[in-house]
Structures are given as C-alpha cells and as structure tokens.
Chains A and B, each alone.
Chain A
Amino acid sequence: MISEVERSKRRKQRRDLIRRVISYLVLCVVALTMVGPFLWMISTSFKEKDDVMTKKTHIIPWRVFSYLRTAEGPQRVKLLSDNGQVARVREILPDGTVGSLRTVPSQEVVSKGRHYLKSRNYPEAWQEGNLGRAYLNTLIIAIFITFGKVLTSSLAAFAFARLNFPGRDKLFLAYLGTMMIPETVTLIPLFVLFRKVPEILNGLFNTGYFTASLYIGDWFVGTAMGVDSYFSLIAPGLFTAYGTFMLRQFFMSIPRDLEDAARIDGCSSLAIWWRIILPLSKPAMVTLVIFTFMGSWRMFVWPLVIVDNPKMMPLSVALKLFQDQYSVEMTLLMAATVIALIPILTVYISGQKYFTEGILLGAVKG
C-alpha cells in the first residue's frame, strides 16, 4: 500500500521534472531567436571585412582565414593543416566559395591567427559616421523633450484629475482623440510651419536673424529656428496627449485626504502638485521619463525632414546617412548600430521594472 503511494508520488515528481525541462528548452529556443540577431550584429561588428563577406560565417568573430603571400599581394585562404614546413590550404574565391586544395611552404602563409578580434571598427565608425556629434545632438534633444514633456503633461494631468473647471471632460476627450491622429497628418503642416515661419518673421522684422546660423565659439549650433535648428527638433515634441492621459490615470488613484488637509492648511494648488502629487507619483513619473527618453532617442521621420545639415542630425538620421554612404561596409555599419543601441539597452536594463507597469498604465483606456 505504502509503496503504491510512494510510486505514484515518484511518478508525479518525474513528470514534473520532465515538464520543467521541456519548458526551459522551449524558453531557451525562443530566447535564442530573440537574441540571435543581436549576437550576429555584435559578431559582425568585431570582424574583418573579408571574414564577413563569406558564405560560411563564424558567429564568433575570430579570423577564420589566413593569407597566402603571392606575387599579386596577399590572397585569402583557408588553412587546413600546418606542420611547420608545409601547409595545406584552400583558396577562397571572391564569391566566398572554397577553391581547390594546395600545398604550400609554411612561411608563405601569413596571419595565421584564429584568436583575433577587430575592435578598430568602432573608432572608425564613430569617426566616419560623425557619430560623436550625432550622440550629443540626440542627448540634447532627448533631455529637453523629456523634461518638457513630463513638466507640461504632469501639470495638465493634475488639472484633469483634480481641478474643476468648465469643459474639463470635453477637453480631456479631445486630448484622447488626438492620440488617434496619424503622424503623417501633422508632418506636412509642421514641416511647412518650421520652414516658412522663420522666413516670414525675417520679412516682418526685416532681418535675417531667424534663419541665421549660430555659433558658440566656432562651434556650429544650428540656425535660430526652422530648418537645422535644435528648436525645431525639440519644440513639437514637448507636448503629449499620451503622457497626460497616463499621468491622469495615476493621479486619479491617489487618495484625496492628504490634499484636503493641505488645502485647509492654506496650500496652493501649485504647492499640492509639487509637494504631494509628484512625490506620490514617483513610479508613474519614472515610467514616463523612461518612455519619453527612449521615444525621443529613436525619433526619426521628423528629424529626417527638418534637418539638412549633417552637424544637426540626431543618431537615427546620422545612422541612415551612414548606411546610404557605406552600404557595403557591414562591419562598420554594425559597429555603428551597436553604438546607437547601447544607451537604449542601458536604460532598459536599469529601468526594467518600470516597463511592464508603463505599458499597462497606458493601455487601460478610460
């Protein structure tokens, strides 16, 4: 009797174990699919150009090829064996396929390295792609937009959540409605606005100031406003219906007691917003900061149409330009993409716990 119970218990344990192993297996396969392209990117970024343009790539960025000294210069070969006197090699044809077997004197085979990581791609991509300036531009844009967006939307969300004024709910609905407007609808008028208004202002005040190039020292900081200006890159991004909506949802969930007490003590609305609501909404605020920062970091189409000068390009546009110019230099391009992705991934990993919350908070439609 006891052994029967024992046996069934063991059977169950074994079934659980098998199930768990299968679960982990499936989890790992999916994880590999998700990470694979990133590994491929990193691998390519550390390789020599020759080692990339081949039909049989090594995922680990070692040099798989050696070079044969010939009269016409070094020739790419695959080293099969080498006993110190003679080496057996296979020629690598230009299309990446392997040619016929040859036996050659050992000393003619050069750079026999296998353990070889090429990190020179990174500084080269940084230089060629003008990524330093692009990094700085993106950082400036992202910081201003994040700060502005969080400020304006938390003020508006406070008004929607806590203050009574005529037309409040209709206005809020209108805000919600704007989340439906496609980016392309506002893109054209905004482009016209930022292209034409500075010219009109120039005419109006009879100056050239509004489209003039500005310098700090001899450092180009764009035009005053309009095309190629930080102003035009930042200004349209300072306001958000989505952030207002998200913060309002959160503010609504904060109990009113504290506020009422503060009001009785004579606190103004501004003080309540600053001293009570904001500190209590830290998780929502952090979430919004992270989302906004990442959103402005990857902003693409608007900078693409409003920036002509490479010096004013954010990372996304600079990367696109780099791709247009160096479409065959895969090693450099991949180094550049790694450089562009690092900040995003850093923010993600460090603010990881806020992501789930943010998505759910934004998704609960009121």
Chain B
Amino acid sequence: MVEVDQKNRNIHRRGRFRQALEGYAFLMPNFLGFAAFTFLPVVASFILAFYSWDMMQDARFIGLRNFIKLLTNPEFWYYFYNTVFLMIGIPIGMLLSLGMAMLVNQKLKGIVAFRTIYFLPHISVGVALYVLWVWIYNPDYGLFNQLIRFFTGLEGPAWLSDRFWAKPALVIMGLWAGAGGKSMILYLAGLQGIDPSLYEVADIDGVGAWGKFRYITIPMLTPTSFFIFIMSVIEGFQGGFDQVIVMTGGGPPPGATTTISYYIFTQAFEEQRMGYAAAVSWFLFLLVFAVTLINWRYGGRRVHY
C-alpha cells in the first residue's frame, strides 16, 4: 500500500510539467472557439460601442456619444419599461411553479405522467410554439377568445394587435410555457430535499396544513426560490426576443412590445446602426451584471439555510 502511494506520488511529481501541457492541450479546442466566438466578439462589441458605423462607410470614433444618446433617448426608456413589464410574470410564475411542484410531489399513481405533461410546453418553446400562440390569440377565431365567448358571452380583447393587451398576452404565454419548466423541477427537487421529520414533528404539535406550508416549506425552499428568482431576472432582462420577433414585431403600435433585446436587433440589422446597437447591448450586459451583484449581496441575507 505504502509502496503504491510512493509510486503514485512520484508519477505525479514527474508529470507536473507534462500535466500542465496536457491540460492546455485538452482545453485548446474549446478555448480557441471560446476565444474566437465569445471573447473576441465581446471585446469587439465594446470597442464598437464607441464608434458610429453602418457597415458601408468607414467607422467613425465618436467617444461616448452612443451612450449619451442612449441614456437621453425617451424611446429607449420606454423599451426598458416594456422589458420590466414583461418581468411581472416572474413572481406569478414562481408561485405557479411551486404549486405545480407540490401537486406532482404527491405519492399518487401515474404522477410521473403528469410531470411529463407539465414539462411539455417548456420543451416545445421556440418559433413553432410562438406561431401557435399567434393563432391562439387571434381576436376572432383564436382559442382564447372562443373560450371567453363560450364562458362569458363577451368579446375578448384583440390581444397581440391591441396596444394595451399585447404585453400581458406575452406574459400569459410566458407563464404557460415556463411554469411547468425548469422552476418546477427545481422546486420539486427542493421539496424532496426537505427532511420529512420536520413535518412529523409539526404533526405531533398539531400544526395544520397551512402552518406546515408557511413555517416549514416556504423557509426551507428559500434558497431554491432565491436561485430561481435571480435566474429569472437575468433571463428577463434579456427576454422578449424570439417571441417578439415572431409574434409582434415590436408592436402594435410600433414600440409597444419592443424590448431591449429586440431594440438592439432592429438597430443593428434593420437600421444598420452597428455602433449604437453595440452600446445598447453593453448597457444590457452591465444591467445583468449589476443585478447579479445586487441580488447576491442584499438578497443573500434573507436566505434561510
């Protein structure tokens, strides 16, 4: 045994230099790609943010003017507001996810089938699903307004073609697609990680169902909730991209559902304002970064372990 250990150690010592070389070699394919398609573009985008460039004429250095234009542009702040508006779905979605996780956490026959079904929308997210929801939101013949007509006899709103309802429509679709997704799975894992003896003790003390939920489940799930919340906020700031491209094109009327991501997209690929778009994307980047820091710093204290 001792001999083997000695031999082992020798091998490790002799191979230190070789191991370093090997390490870099193993890393190389991934690292090259990472350098070419992530690191380089991030740096390029940062530099581009200080230029004015339409991809045709030569780029012109304009200092901070892109950022000044961005910060003083009321349009931009409206799009910022839109992005935040779409995030009202986050707390609602978390509640729904928790509820669904508790539903499928019961010991019942066929419960796995229900889990599979609840996860279905999340799996299908993509252009196909957005095309489907455009049809669901059709004011005259869509599923939503047919249901509203059937149950209440009233005419539903025009959803995606309505100035007020377009944003809530996107939120509702997001809730449907997201509630049974990652968050539900994370909550489910959280629920299964709670020590059952806590509930047994509560039973002996005669604590009711609500009390157990309020004083055991909720506190024990705080780390999970916290994690889900951070991820959702980060995703939220970058959100409203694919679905806005497919479903509303930023309208109606123009701008009503334009989010920061979609704004960057149109500025770069429709208006050819590459420098300005890069500046906006960096603003978004810093926003995401700041939210992460703030959340970790101030949110961390309220976590019950």
Contacts and interface: CB of A to CB of B under 8 A. Distances in A.
Interface in A51-102: 52-57, 95-96
Majority-rule SS of B interface residues: helix
Given A37-B132, A301-B241, A344 B108 contact: no
Interface string A8-49: 000000000000100110110011011111101100100000
Interface stretch (B85-93, B116-124, B196-204, B211-219): B116-124
Nearest to A362: B182
B114 A31 contact: yes
B220 interface: no
A355 B181 CA distance: 10
Contacts of A236: 37
B125 interface: yes
B26 A190 contact: no
Interface string B272-298: 001001100110110011001000000
Interface stretch (A106-114, A210-218, A220-228, A237-245): A237-245
B143 A36 contact: yes
Nearest to A175: B34
Contacts of A56: 146
Task: Identify the interface centre among B34, B42, B118, B180: most chain A CB within 10 Å of its CB.
Answer: B34
A315 B127 CA distance: 9
A54 B141 contact: yes
A192 B129 CA distance: 30
B108 A23 contact: yes
A360 interface: yes
Contacts, number: 269
Nearest to B238: A182
Contacts of A187: 264-265, 268, 281
A263 B11 contact: yes
B45 A189 contact: yes
A29 B176 CA distance: 13
Contacts of B146: 55-57
A340 interface: yes
A37 B44 contact: no
A334 B188 CA distance: 33
B242 A300 contact: yes
A168 interface: yes
A298 interface: yes
Interface in B8-24: 8, 11, 16, 19-24
B61 interface: no
A360 B100 CA distance: 17
Interface string A155-196: 110111001111010010001001011111111111111010
A260 interface: yes
Contacts of A263: 8, 11
A31 B117 contact: yes
A305 interface: yes
Task: Identify the interface centre among A55, A153, A188, A191: most chain B CB within 10 Å of its CB.
Answer: A188
B14 to A, nearest CB: 11
A294 B45 contact: no
Contacts of A163: 19-20, 22-23, 26
A139 B148 CA distance: 40
B189 A360 contact: yes
Contacts of B292: 180
B140 interface: yes
A152 interface: yes
A57 B142 CA distance: 9
Contacts of A241: 34, 38
Interface stretch (A115-123, A201-209, A281-289, A316-324): A316-324
Interface of A: 20, 23-24, 26-27, 30-31, 33-38, 40-41, 44, 52-57, 95-96, 151-153, 155-156, 158-160, 163-166, 168, 171, 175, 178, 180-193, 195, 235-236, 238-239, 241, 244, 260, 263-264, 269, 273, 294, 297-298, 300-301, 304-305, 315-317, 319-320, 323, 330, 333-334, 336-337, 340-341, 344-345, 348-349, 352, 355-356, 359-360, 363, 365
16 contacts: A27-B103, A27-B104, A55-B141, A159-B23, A160-B27, A185-B278, A185-B282, A188-B278, A191-B269, A195-B55, A297-B126, A300-B127, A315-B127, A345-B124, A348-B119, A355-B123
